[in-house]
Structure 1
Amino acid sequence: MFSENEPKRVLQFSLGLLVFQAIFAVLLYMGVVKIQKEIQTEQQQKRMEAEIAQLKEYSDYLDKNEDELRNFKHDYQDILNGLRISAEEGNIKAVVQQLAKYTDSQVDDKSLRKYQDVNHIHIDELKSIAITKLAKLYNEQFPYSFGCNVEIYRIPQSVNILDIVRIIGITFNNAIEESRKFSDKSNAKVDAMYYQEDGNFEFKIRNKIVNDTKLSTNILSKEGYSTKKNHAGIGLANIKRIESKYEECMLINYGIEDGWFTFDLEIMPDNENMEEE
C-alpha cells in the first residue's frame, strides 16, 4: 500500500524533474547562442580580414601602377622623338605599329582596368564595397566594367550609408552568382557604375543571365523566390524592405530584358538637406 506521503513525494519529484529540465533547456539555449555568436564573430573577422587584404592590394596596385605609368610617360617622349623621322618620311603605319607594340608590352591593360575609376570615390564605405566586389569579379575571371567619372565626396544624408552598401552588396552578389552559371566565363558580363548629379547619388548594375525568362518585378522580389538552385531568394526581398524605409528619397527599378538583369538605384536628398545646401 502507498503511504499518505507517496503522492506528495511523486509530485515533488516530478516538479523537481521539470525544474531540472527547464534549467537544462535554458543552459543549452545559452550555450547554442554563445556558439552561434562565436561563429558569427569568426565569420565577421574573416570577412574583415579579407576586406583589409583587398584594400591593401588596392593600395599596392595604385603604388605599382603609378610608378609604371610615371616611367612610361617619362620614356614616351623619347620614343616619340625617336620615331619622328619615320613619321616625317611618311611611314605613319610603321610608327603606329611600333607604338602599339611598345604600349602592349609595357602596360598591363587588364590590370589597369581592375579598379578603374575607384579613385574618384571619396566615401570609404562606397569605395570599400566597390573594391571588394570588383576584386571578386577579377579573381573569378568574369568580364566586367566599372565606371565613376565624377568625384563623389558626399551623398544625400537622407539614407543610412550602411543600407546603401547593403543594397550594392546584394546586387553584386546576385550578379556574381548568375555569372557562375555560365559554362564559359567569357559569356558572362557585369557592368556597374556610380554617378552623381545635382546632389543625387546613383548606382547602376547589370549582368548577363543564362535564361532570358520574362519575370515581373513582383515575382523577382517575392520572399523565397530565386532563380538559383538551393538558394533562399531573400536578396531582392531584403532590398524591397530597405526601400520601404525611404519611400520619399529612394527610387529602385529592376527587371530582365534581352538577356540582361538590370538594377538602378537613385538616392535623392530630402527637402531639409536640399534647403541646407
Structure 2
Amino acid sequence: MTFFEVFCANTLSVGMTTIFYVAAAIQLFGEIPYKNRKHCRDIFNSLLLYLFACAFFGTIFYKTGLFAWPHNGGEIIYAYISISGMMLFLRVMYQKPYGVCLVTSVFIMILHDVGWNLADVFSPKKVYDLSILSDRMEYMFLEWVVIPLGLLLVILLLYKTNARELFGQWEEQKPKLAVLVFLGFYPILTQIIQEAVDYSARDIGYNPATAMFFLMVVYMIFIYTGREGIQQKRIEDQNVSLRQQGAYIENLEGLQREVRRFRHDFKNMMSGMYLQAEEGNIEAIQSYIHEMTEDFDLQVGSQIRLMNQLANIRVTEVKGLFLEKMKTMQEEDIHWELEVLKPFEKTRIRSTDLCRCLGILLDNAMEEVQGRKDGRIHIMISSQNGYTTFRVKNTLYTSLDFHKVGTPGYSTKGKDRGIGLDNYKKILGRYEKTLPLTTIQDGYFIQEIKIQEA
C-alpha cells in the first residue's frame, strides 16, 4: 500500500477514535462551552489538526516499521503523541488547566482500551490475513461494527454511573502531582504489567485485564478524592456555621445593648412626650415618635435585616465569604448593605470560582471606600427567572479610564496592581452563559455578574 492509501485508512480509524474521545470528554466535563465564533473555529481547527496529526504519525510509524519495535516501543511513543494531542485539544475546547486535561486524556485512553477489550470478547482471533476474503470481511465487521458497539457501551456506562459528578468532585480538589505522574506513565506501565503477566506481550499482543486494572485504579482515585472533598466540605460547613453563630451572638449582644439603652432612656422620652401632650402639640408628638422609631430602626432593625439576608444565602462557601468580609468591614467601620431578594441555593459556577470572583469585587470595593465616612457598599443577590445575579456597588472617589478596567496592569492604585479584575475576567471566561457587567452610575462603581442557569 502507498503512503497516501495508508494515511487515508488511518484517518478513518483515528476519526472513529476521535469521536469516542470527544463523546467521553463531554460525559466527563459536560457540554462544550460556547463563547463566540472564534472559539468554535479554534475547536474545529484543533480537532482537524489532532485527527490528521495522529493519522500522519501513525502512517509514518507503520511505513518505517516503528510499530514493530520490541517491547511495543513504537506503540508507546505513538500513545504519548495521542495523549499530548488530546490534552491540547481539551485545553482549547474546555480551557481547563493542563493537569486536568492531561489526566482526562489518559483516562479517556484507558476507557478506549476497555472498549476495545469488550469488542475482543467477540473476536478472540488477533491476526487476520487481509488477502483472504473471509478474513477481510471479518476484520471489517470487527473494525466498523463490533468495536464501535464496545465503545458505545463504555459511553453508556459513563452516563449510567454518573461519572461526571465523580469527575467533578475530583477536579474540585485539583490534581495532585503523584496522580499526574502515575497516569502520565500509563502507556509504559501498561507494557510493564503486560510483560509481567504474559511473556508473549514483549513483542505483540496484550492482556485485556491491564486496561480494566488501570480503570479500577483511576476510579478508586476519583472515589477517594471525592470522599476527601466531601469531608473537607463538611469541615468547611462546620467552620462557616461556627462563624455564623459567632456573628449571630455578636449581633444579639448588640441588640441587647440597644434595647437596654432604649429602656434606660424610655422614661425621659415619655416625659418629653407627656409635656407635649399636655400642651396639645400633636404634630410635635408625631415628630418625636417618628424620630424615636427611626433611631431604633437604624440601630436595631438594620442588624435584624442583615442577619435575615445572610440566612437567605444557602451556599455555604458564599455565606462564609460574606461573614468574613462582614467582620472586616465592621472592624474598619465601613458602611455596607446586603440584599438577597430570594434564597440563593445554587448556581452553575463552581463555588470556589464564584468565591474568588466575589472576593475580588468585594476587596476592590472595600479598598475604594476605606477611610471614607460617606463611603457606601451595597451588595445584591438575585435568584429568579432562570438567572442568578450578583451586584457589588460602591461609592467611587477616584477617576478611572473605564475602557481599561480589567486589563492587565491597569489600576488607579499605582504600579504592579490591577491583577484582580484581570483574573476575575479570566475565571468568568471559562463559563458559558455568564455575563460580567461594569458600569458607573450616579457616583457609584457597579460590578455585576449575571448567570443564566437554565
TM over 0.5: yes
Aligned match for 2:357, one of 167, 175, 197: 167
Matched to 2:346, the amino acid is I
Question: In 1, distance between residues paired with 2:366 and 2:304?
Answer: 16
8 Å Cα contact 1:65-1:112 kept in structure 2? no
Matched to 1:259, the amino acid is G
Q: Which structure is richer in relative contact order (CA contacts within 8 A, separation 6 or more)? A: 1
Question: In 2, distance between residues paired with 1:120 and 1:62?
Answer: 17
Change (3 A) 1:96 1:57: farther
Change (3 A) 1:92 1:131: farther
Change (3 A) 1:58 1:201: same
8 Å Cα contact 1:114-1:134 kept in structure 2? no
**How far 1:173 sits from its partner (Å)?**
0.2
Residue 119 of structure 1: aligned partner: 311
**How far 1:93 sits from its partner (Å)?**
2.7
TM-score (normalised: structure 1)? 0.60
TM-score (normalised: structure 2)? 0.39
Residue 15 of structure 1: aligned partner: none
Question: In 1, distance between residues paired with 2:450 and 2:406?
Answer: 18
Aligned match for 1:240, one of 413, 420, 425: 425
Change (3 A) 1:144 1:105: closer
Matched to 2:360, the amino acid is I
Residue 342 of structure 2: aligned partner: 150
Question: In 1, distance between residues paired with 2:369 and 2:242?
Answer: 24
**How far 1:55 sits from its partner (Å)?**
3.3
Aligned match for 1:109, one of 289, 292, 299: 299
Which has more strand, going by share of residues?
Answer: 1
Aligned match for 1:259, one of 433, 443, 447: 443
**How far 1:144 sits from its partner (Å)?**
2.4
User: Alignment partner of 1:136: what SS?
Assistant: helix
| Equivalences, count | 211
Which has more helix, going by share of residues?
Answer: 2
8 Å Cα contact 2:386-2:452 kept in structure 1? yes
Deviations for 1:219-249, whole angstroms, at most 9, x for unmatched residues? 211122221135532111111111111023x
Deviations for 1:11-42, whole angstroms, at most 9, x for unmatched residues? xxxxxxxxxxxxxxxxxxxxxxxxxxxxxxxx
Residue 27 of structure 2: aligned partner: none
- Structural mapping, 1:34-49, within 5 Å: none
Aligned match for 2:247, one of 52, 58, 80: 58
User: Alignment partner of 2:402: what SS?
Assistant: coil
Deviations for 1:105-130, whole angstroms, at most 9, x for unmatched residues? 76662783487222222222222212
Change (3 A) 1:172 1:231: farther
Residue 325 of structure 2: aligned partner: 133
Please report the RMSD computed on the Cα atoms of aligned residues, expressed in angstroms. Answer: 4.1
Matched to 2:250, the amino acid is Y
Question: In 1, distance between residues paired with 2:312 and 2:437?
Answer: 25
Matched to 1:58, the amino acid is A
Residue 49 of structure 2: aligned partner: none
8 Å Cα contact 2:258-2:299 kept in structure 1? no
**How far 1:62 sits from its partner (Å)?**
4.8
**How far 1:169 sits from its partner (Å)?**
0.6
8 Å Cα contact 1:115-1:134 kept in structure 2? no
Residue 378 of structure 2: aligned partner: 191
Task: For structure 2, list consecutive stretches of 5 or more residues without a partner in the other structure.
Answer: 1-238, 262-268
Matched to 1:229, the amino acid is G
1:226 aligns with 2:411: yes
Residue 26 of structure 2: aligned partner: none
Residue 396 of structure 2: aligned partner: 209
Question: In 2, distance between residues paired with 1:145 and 1:258?
Answer: 18
